[in-house]
Each structure stands twice: as structure tokens, then as C-alpha cells.
Amino acid sequence: MAQTCGLSLLLTLLLPALGASTPGVEFRLNSAALSYVSEVGKAPLQRSLQVTVPHFLDRREVLQVNRIQIVKVHVARLRLKFIAGFGVRLLTAANFTFEVVRAKKPLELKMPVALMADMQVFQSAIGTPVVSISSCLSFFDNAVLSDSWDRPLPALMVLLQRHLKAVLRNKLCLSVSNLVQNLNVHLGTLIGLNPVGPESQIRYSVIDIPTVTDDYIAWNISAILFLLGKPIILSSNATLFMWPHPMGDEGVMATVVLSQGLFDASFLLLQKAGSLNLDITSQLKSDDNPLNTSSLGQLIPEVARQFPEPMPVVLKVRLGATPVATLSTNSATLRLQPFVEVLVPTSNSAFQSLFSLDVVVNLSLQLSVSKVKLQGSTSVLGAIQLTVASSNVGFINTDQVHELMGTVFERPLLDHLNALLSMGIPLPTVANLYYVNPQVFIHEGYVVISSELSYQC
């Protein structure tokens, strides 16, 4: 697999980074990526072209075995370009240095060789990108002797060149084909289950053949989120995503478009998993702890009457409603509607409910990408809205409770939510492929990530 590292960089980049109809993502690999691969892929391609050459049998006078080996391969030029409606063309020029070991003095030959290979990318039965070489041609210039060697008979040079060309014509294309076959195994890592949380995963797979133009290659890929092995299904009235055209910065290597549906599915998963629920507690003897019956008793007389001695208070926060993410031009927001129950522990280790609140929290959502993960962070937008859902302590003035709830509820909620969002959701990738210097742009109903790529062996 070591040989596949460089040229596979090209072909590894010929894969999507997410998609589906709902939720959906489109991945676009631009021409800038091919320039990067052309430079980085030279050294691995050189190693793969250093094939074994069979002995040459000289029959001119007596049978004489000449052992031939490739001493060095130097790839002078490697160019990759898109072929509209087809795939990618590889053009390379390399200089081969041969040593011919014979009974007389050894010879050192140099021969320029050019290769042209056309490659298509398909969808496999299991939903991975599959690369196939449709044609491969090799072109040879005449071999020349190094100046430091005695010149053999011209007839021997003709026979040697004929032998080398006959051998290399098939072997060099077979070497490139072997790289592609090894690469297809590597591309299979796209479809594995990637963890999102302790009991949740995301799975990607290609859903159709790519679109190829002179400037880019683009895929749609399905993105399915799972909780305890069961897929997260959006409601049937989810909006079908229409791909934006044009999209992103064509000067970068890759552009990824994430639809609204992916965000809806991600937050639905968090809600179903109970990850957004939390219990807010605090130590009773803490000097700055307002989360106790004494603080509440100053606002609600019945609490002071029932609990003359200070008792700790617990806020049990539960999200029954799915969070709503909204993508607008240059901004993303998140709306949470938690149900908050205020409890006091009793002597028998049970809890007594004081009152409960319906809460609405509007948050600003910031997005970023780290290596292969889309991450988020939030901050509160405006004031938290409170409505009394039930009370066992009489009348509650929500204006008075509001300030206290903002103090004891807002910060723990943000810390909990930001810790979850900082874990991130994996973007589609294969092993060793990372997003570098990504920029995130938010539009109406979708998010665009423009990024360089790095393939690390």
C-alpha cells in the first residue's frame, strides 16, 4: 500500500465529501486540486514505475545473457486534467536510466518515456467511488548511452531498445493500473460508520456517478445518521434541497455544500439521544450559589414558607421538542424549547417538584471545520423566554424569576451545548485525507465549505 500514497492522492481526492437527497451534500473537486496532486504525486509515481525488466538474450553471434535493471526513474512532468463528461486524464513524462550488465563492459542507457492514461470514476454496488483506467498508452524516445561508457555496436543498441520498449509498453500501464486497484481498496474506507456520539454514527455512500466538466468533478452522496443502529428519518414534509449553481470558490481545491436537511437530521439525532438534556446542580455552601431555596424564597413566598432552612435546588432540563436550526445569508441560528423542572431533594432521596417552566432560547450558531469535522459553538440571542407550565408553590412572577434563571440556567446550558457541538460531526473522507484552511459560508438553506486538502501518508 505504500506505493499507492502519492498517485492515490489524486484519485483519493476523486471522491465526494457527503450527500443525499434529504439531507444532502454535494462535493466538488476543482482544478486546483489536480495541480496540487500533480506536484505531490511525482515521487510515488516514480517508485511505481521502477518495474522489473527481464534479461535480454543477445543472439547475434553466441547466446549471451544481458541482465537489465532500472537504476532510476525521474518523473519530469506530471499533469492531470478533467475531461468533460468522462473523468480525468493523466499525462506524465519520465526519464528512465537502465544498467545493462553483460560479459563485456556494462552499459548505462537513458530513455525518455511518456504515459497517457484516461480514468473514469464510477459508483460501486456498496456505494463507494471506484476508479477504472479505460485506456493507457506509452510513448518511447530512442535510448542514448551515457558519455562515460564505451559504445557498443549499433545493432546491439537497436535490439536493446526493441526489447525495452516491448517490455515497458505493458508493464508501465500495468503498474499504474495496480495503483488504481490498491486505491479502490483505500476508497472503501469512505463507507464505514463514523462515530458522532457514544451511541450514534454517520454513514456516507455515493448515490450516482459524478458530474465532470472541464473545471471540476462533483458528486452527490448519501449521509445517513444512526442512533442505536436505527436511521434518523426526517419528516416527509422536509424540503427537497436544490443545489446552488455556481457555488463556492473555484480557486480552492474542494467545495462542499451542506443542505439544511443535514443540520435538521443532526439536531434531531441529538434530541432523540437525550444528549441535550442536563441536570443543573450546585453545592449548597458555595458563596456564589443562588440555586437554593433561600434565593427562590426571596422571590416566591411559598418556597420560603415550605423550606425555612436552605435546601439545594436542582434544575432538570429536558428537550421534548426538536431544536430548529435556521440558515440565512451570513448567519445561522438555533432555537431550543426546553422544559425545566425545579426540584428539591427530600429526606427519602426523592425529589419534590416546586414548579416547571416552558423555556424558549434563541442562539447564534457559529460553524467551523477542524481536519475532518464540522464543529459549532453558540451564544444567546436576546432574552430567554419563560412561561410557567405548573406550580406547587402558588403564584410565580416570571419577571422576578427571569433574572435568577438567567444566572443559573443560561451558562450551564451554553457550556453543555458547546461541549456537544465542539465534538463535531465527521465530514465524509477516507483515511489520511484532511481539510486545510477551510472557510465556511452560510447561505439561505445551505452552508458552503471552501477548503484546501491535505493527504498525509
At residue 146, does pLDDT exceed 50? yes
At residue 5, does pLDDT exceed 80? no
Work out the mean pLDDT of the chain and round it to a whole number: 85
Q: Given this model, what pLDDT does residue 18 score?
A: 40
Report whether 259 contacts 449 (CB < 8 A). no
Q: Given this model, what pLDDT does residue 12 score?
A: 52
At residue 62, does pLDDT exceed 50? no
Q: Which cell goes with 150? A: 564505451
User: Are both 35 and 177 inside the same structural domain?
Assistant: yes
The arithmetic mean of pLDDT across residues 38-62, rounded, is: 79
Percentages helix, strand, coil for the chain (3-state, rounded to 5) are 25, 45, 30
Q: Of 155, 189, 223, which one is at a domain's C-terminal end? A: 189
Distance (Å, rounded) from C-alpha 224 to C-alpha 360?
Answer: 29
Report whether 262 contacts 18 (CB < 8 A). yes
Distance (Å, rounded) from C-alpha 440 to C-alpha 327?
Answer: 12
Per-residue confidence band for 96, with pLDDT thresholds at 50, 70 and 90: very high
Q: Given this model, what pLDDT does residue 318 score?
A: 95
Assign residue 266 the CATH number of its domain.
3.15.20.10
User: Are both 345 and 248 inside the same structural domain?
Assistant: yes
User: Are both 239 and 177 inside the same structural domain?
Assistant: no
Inside any domain, residue 210: no
Per-residue confidence band for 181, with pLDDT thresholds at 50, 70 and 90: confident
Residue of higher predicted confidence among 126 and 319: 319
Inside any domain, residue 211: no
373-to-25, 100, 154, 319 alpha-carbon distances in Å = 14, 53, 62, 25
Q: Could you write out the DSSP letters of every residue in 199-215?
A: TEEEEEEE-SPPEE-SS
User: Are both 165 and 263 inside the same structural domain?
Assistant: no
Most confident among 91-95, 317-321, 410-414 (mean pLDDT): 91-95
- Cell numbers 434530541 label which residue? 271
Chain centroid offset of residue 139 CA: 38
Distance (Å, rounded) from C-alpha 406 to C-alpha 290?
Answer: 11
Comparing 66-70, 256-260, 298-302, 307-311, which segment has the lowest mean pLDDT?
A: 66-70
Inside any domain, residue 223: no
At residue 322, does pLDDT exceed 60? yes
Cβ neighbours for 96, distance < 8 A, ≥ 6 positions apart: 49, 70, 72, 73, 110, 111, 112, 113, 168
At residue 147, does pLDDT exceed 70? no
The arithmetic mean of pLDDT across residues 14-31, rounded, is: 64
Inside any domain, residue 264: yes
**How many CB atoms sit inside 10 A of residue 217's CB?**
25
Report whether 106 contacts 97 (CB < 8 A). no
Inside any domain, residue 207: no
Distance (Å, rounded) from C-alpha 247 to C-alpha 16?
Answer: 15
Q: Of 138, 169, 189, which one is at a domain's C-terminal end? A: 189
Q: Given this model, what pLDDT does residue 226 score?
A: 93
Per-residue confidence band for 148, with pLDDT thresholds at 50, 70 and 90: low
User: Are both 301 and 432 inside the same structural domain?
Assistant: yes
Helix axes 42-49, 154-187, angle to 10 degrees: 120
User: Are both 295 and 414 inside the same structural domain?
Assistant: yes
Q: Given this model, what pLDDT does residue 16 score?
A: 45
Q: Which domain holds residue 336?
A: 232-455
User: Are both 143 and 50 inside the same structural domain?
Assistant: yes
User: Are both 359 and 433 inside the same structural domain?
Assistant: yes
Residue of higher predicted confidence among 112 and 220: 112
Distance (Å, rounded) from C-alpha 188 to C-alpha 202?
Answer: 15
The arithmetic mean of pLDDT across residues 132-159, rounded, is: 79
Q: Which cell goes with 86? A: 468522462
Distance (Å, rounded) from C-alpha 219 to C-alpha 29?
Answer: 9
Assign residue 114 the CATH number of its domain.
3.15.10.10
Inside any domain, residue 334: yes
Inside any domain, residue 197: no
Q: Could you write out the DSSP letters of every residue in 49-77?
A: H------EEE-SSS-EEEEEEEEEEEEEE
Residue of higher predicted confidence among 180 and 434: 434
Inside any domain, residue 363: yes
Q: Given this model, what pLDDT does residue 366 score?
A: 97
User: Are both 154 and 269 inside the same structural domain?
Assistant: no
| pTM confidence score | 0.85
Q: Of 189, 204, 224, which one is at a domain's C-terminal end? A: 189
Domain count, the chain: 2
Residue of higher predicted confidence among 86 and 19: 86
User: Are both 273 and 415 inside the same structural domain?
Assistant: yes
The share of the chain scoring above pLDDT 90, in percent, equals 46
The arithmetic mean of pLDDT across residues 422-442, rounded, is: 91
CA dihedral of 421, 427, 430, 434, whole degrees rounded to 10? -80
**How many CB atoms sit inside 10 A of residue 421's CB?**
22
265-to-227, 235, 330 alpha-carbon distances in Å = 11, 10, 21
At residue 241, does pLDDT exceed 70? no
Strand pairing category for 331-336 and 373-380: unpaired
Comparing 147-161, 181-195, 216-230, 426-440, which segment has the lowest mean pLDDT?
A: 147-161
User: Are both 272 and 334 inside the same structural domain?
Assistant: yes
Report whether 356 contacts 340 (CB < 8 A). yes
- The conformation of residue 435, written as its DSSP 8-state character, comes to E
**Closest by alpha carbon to 92, among 67, 74, 72, 66?**
74
User: Are both 346 and 450 inside the same structural domain?
Assistant: yes
Per-residue confidence band for 19, with pLDDT thresholds at 50, 70 and 90: very low
